[in-house]
Structure 1
Amino acid sequence: MSALDRVVKPKTKRSKRFQDSREPKLIENVKNAMLLKGGNANATVTQALKDIYALKKPYAVLYKKKNITRPFEDQTSLEFFSKKSDCSLFMFGSHNKKRPNNLVLGRMFDYHVLDMIELGVENFISLNDIKNSKCPEGTKPMLIFAGDAFELNEDYRRLKSLLIDFFRGPTVPCVRLAGLEHVLHFTALDGKIYMRSYKVLLKKSGCRTPRIELEEMGPSFDFTMRRTHLASDDLYKLAMKQPKALKSKKKKNISQDPFGTTYGRIHMQKQDLGRLQTRKLKGLKRGSAAGNPENSPKKPRPM
């Protein structure tokens, strides 16, 4: 049993709060990502990890020391760092003659590797190479995927799910227009994946709705898919399972349309039209001369 697997009774309130933060919750915390580089990482891979870290801050941990490990052969070191830093996402960068400029993107389930995909970097433009204004730290990006391969190919479909999980950021209840200022665009075309990062500019348009322009701010990647390590369907289904407390109970006679409008169906008893309340008129009162001729005064008989 490793030192991280042992149950240690907390001695201070700070350590107790730390253990409580690591316990399972109905609504989990924001997924953190750890970025590591191998023992033979070059300058391109190192700068790529730094740029991805700049996009992910503050929900990321960047390890600056080199780690001699091979994720597809031995995953124990990744699982150790995942449990130590409480990160369920990871990116590992390496470089060698057989696989130059290599990035491995993956995620964890219960501190074990669920799936990972190896991407080769062909063209790379850093954040520092594009001299434009940047988005503030912690900006939640808008993700756009273009290309039929993301829907038709199983590997590309799993890569899309992995990219969404990696870059989605925290879940927010509402969004303001001024906060939509970062766009990540992924395009699958001719066996390559193009990643572009844009900043949204709100220009004056003469009306209430502003005119939108996109300005590239970096980083820019041209990826090629190499090796894949995907979870089985049963394990993937288990990782996607939600607790029963989070599942909303189905309410009877209530439905919603695609636009979010709620409709309700009301069941009423059959009405008796004879007892239906109508407009009251003075001339229609019961016992009046106009309404009941029997109660009208009698005329005198001629003598």
Structure 2
Amino acid sequence: MLQKPKAKNARSKRFLVNREPKVVENAKSAIIVRGSSTSQVILDTLKDLYALRKPNAVNFTKKNEIHPFDDETGVEFFSRKNDCSLFAVGMHSKKRPHNLILGRTFNYQLLDMIEMGVEKCATMKDIGAQSCAIGARPLMIFNGESFAQDEKMILLKNLLLDFFRGEEADRLSLKGLEYVITVTTGPPGPNGEPGLVFLRTYTVDLKKSGVRQPRVELALMGPSLDLRIRRIRFPADDMWKQAIRVPKEIKETKVKNISRDGLGDKYGRVHMGKQDISKLQTRKVKALRKRLDSRPAKRPKTE
């Protein structure tokens, strides 16, 4: 492992301070690593993943002797050296052809990862459609009940959301939504194992509809991947608790008797003490006075 370097000047000190833990962290970066033995399918897949992750990604074009499931020190070394918490490793062998590994690190230590086989790949170049802008954020759509029931698919969903989320933003313009990623699960295997996972990427085209809301059309952009899950490493319980911990500085302070519904509308609840109606003073209330018209007519005075 790399030792923590010491700052020699003000510039290197600012660089090291930028890498230190913060209340609001920087946008997550990913390393795209090529294994010692790869196929053309894996090379095309890594190239398209790097194109979707730009500019928060580092692409390794040279071969690297790296096997995350057998030895995790290589991934942790690259993670610390490049200050990246996400990684994608591609390799190819006779036992595991067209192998793709997606994973995460926390505090430069391996957190979790998923190994998948790329059974079919249609790249951006093969489709020839217009690509999205660099740094655009996608809309993620997950189709299938297994994403809420199966532990492996739940972890895959969480990992894909973390991999493609990009920089955090409170608001997003409709015109800024340039592409959509859909992830669909196929039927399970005969032994109950997860079926194929179909990952498709589409560009968004907004056209006139005659009303205020535009008509949305999707065009296949690529990459289009058919993935099959092979091996999974789940995160350790203690490390997972540290990774999802929210700092006290950004936690929302709960206000009593105030709640919000699913649409974000704010509701308040007012509690009133018990009132004794018998003690209310009503004589001086103008609305309760008798009107002059309702009073009985006075008798004329007799001389």
Distance 1:279 1:174 in 2: 53
Listed as ranges, the matches of 1:87-236 within 5 Å are 87-190=84-187, 191-236=195-240
The correspondence for 1:5, drawn from 3, 6, 15, is: 3
User: Corresponding residue for 1:244?
Assistant: 248
Give 1:13 shift. Answer: 1.6
For residues 180 and 99 of structure 1, the distance between their equivalents in structure 2, rounded to whole angstroms, comes to 36
**Relative to 1, partners in 2 of residues 1:301 and 1:146: Cα closer, same or farther, differing over 3 Å?**
closer
Partner secondary structure for residue 72 of structure 1: coil
- Larger deviation, residues 101-110 vs 259-268: 259-268
Unmatched runs of 5 consecutive residues or more in structure 1: 291-299
- Residues in 2 aligned to 1:215 and 1:48: alpha-carbon distance in whole angstroms: 19
2:281 corresponding residue in structure 1: 274
Q: Give, as a single letter, the amino acid of the residue that structure 2 aligns with 1:216.
A: L
| Aligned-pair CA distance for 1:274 | 2.9
Aligned residues: percent identity? Answer: 46
1:12–1:275 Cα change, 3 Å: farther
Instruction: Give 1:7 deviation, angstroms.
Output: 4.5
Q: Give deviations 1:151-192, integer Å, cap 9, x for gaps.
A: 111111111111111011111111111112210000011210
Structure 1 counterpart SS, 2:51:
helix
State the Cα distance separating 1:277 from its structure 2 match.
8.5
- Following superposition, the deviation at residue 253 of structure 1 comes to 1.6
Cα distance, 1:279 vs. partner?
A: 6.3
1:61 partnered with 2:58: yes
SS in 2 for 1:129: helix
2:197 alignment partner AA: I
Inter-partner Cα distance in structure 2 for 1:277 and 1:225: 81
Q: TM-score, normalised by structure 2?
A: 0.88
How big is the shift at 1:237?
A: 2.4
Inter-CA distance 139–279: structure 2 relative to 1 (3 Å threshold): farther
Tell me by how many angstroms 1:265 deviates: 2.4
* 1:245, distance to aligned residue in structure 2 (A): 2.0
Letter of the 1:100 partner, please give it: P
